[in-house]
Amino acid sequence: MAKSIILTFVTLLIDRDASTKLPTTVPEFEQPILEEIYGEELVTELESKEMQVEDFDVGAAFAGLVKKYGGNADSDAARARYFNRQRDLEKFIDSRQPSTAKAAAKTTSSAPAKTAAEKRAEKNAAKAAAKAAKDEAVATDFTELLAGDVASITEKLKDLSDADLVAIEAAEAEGQGREDLLAAIDDESESRKQ
């Protein structure tokens, strides 16, 4: 579904080797993939810029990611770690959209604008917190539950907390990645939002 969104584009400098440094501008959601492929210490963010994107199609964007990084197993695995399914990309983009409350606070705030360094520090802290939360969620031991068949696991999903549901989804995505089980987890998550 195409919609109008705010998308952040980042200009990165990728240090390929001693004599090759490649500048590239990509949507913000590609940055963690490139950091995973080349190493976080070899990818430097030079600048970021928010842009209004009309008729953005998340399905086309996800297909583009799969095509772009599907050329070899390592880059495809890096892409899948962050955006295994279209829904993962959609959640990432939605989480970056300004809410009306945030927009109203921005326009009425008399606080001085943040510098690029402050914004980058906040972004890096948020990224580190998200990674730590994801690692902690995956670390929760669901080995016994995930050893069962899809039908028996699906029956037990309704008994899990929201946090456990997120954790088991991450553990399954990192492990066997059974599409039918991931779909059942998605269905359970969606049913709780209604």
- Mean pLDDT, residues 54-75: 90
Which residues make beta-bridge pairs with 57?
Answer: 2
CA-based nearest residue to 181, from 76, 111, 84: 84
pTM (two decimals): 0.51
Band the pLDDT of 9: cuts 50, 70, 90: very high
CA-based nearest residue to 166, from 148, 192, 186, 194: 186
Q: Which of 42-46, 141-145, 185-189 has the lowest mean pLDDT?
A: 141-145
Mean pLDDT of the chain: 81
Mind spelling out the 3-state secondary structure of 8-24? EEEEEEEEEECCEEEEE
Helices (H) and strands (E) in the chain, counts: 10, 3
Tell me what pLDDT residue 138 has.
Answer: 44
Domain ranges of the chain: 1-97, 115-189
Q: Is the separation of the CB atoms in 182 and 146 below 8 Å?
A: no
Band the pLDDT of 31: cuts 50, 70, 90: very high
Q: Which of 76-85, 117-126, 153-162, 177-186 has the lowest mean pLDDT?
A: 117-126
Decide if pLDDT at 179 tops 50.
Answer: yes
Decide if pLDDT at 21 tops 90.
Answer: no
Tell me what pLDDT residue 105 has.
Answer: 46
* Cβ neighbourhood burial of 1 (10 Å; 0-12, 13-18, 19+): exposed
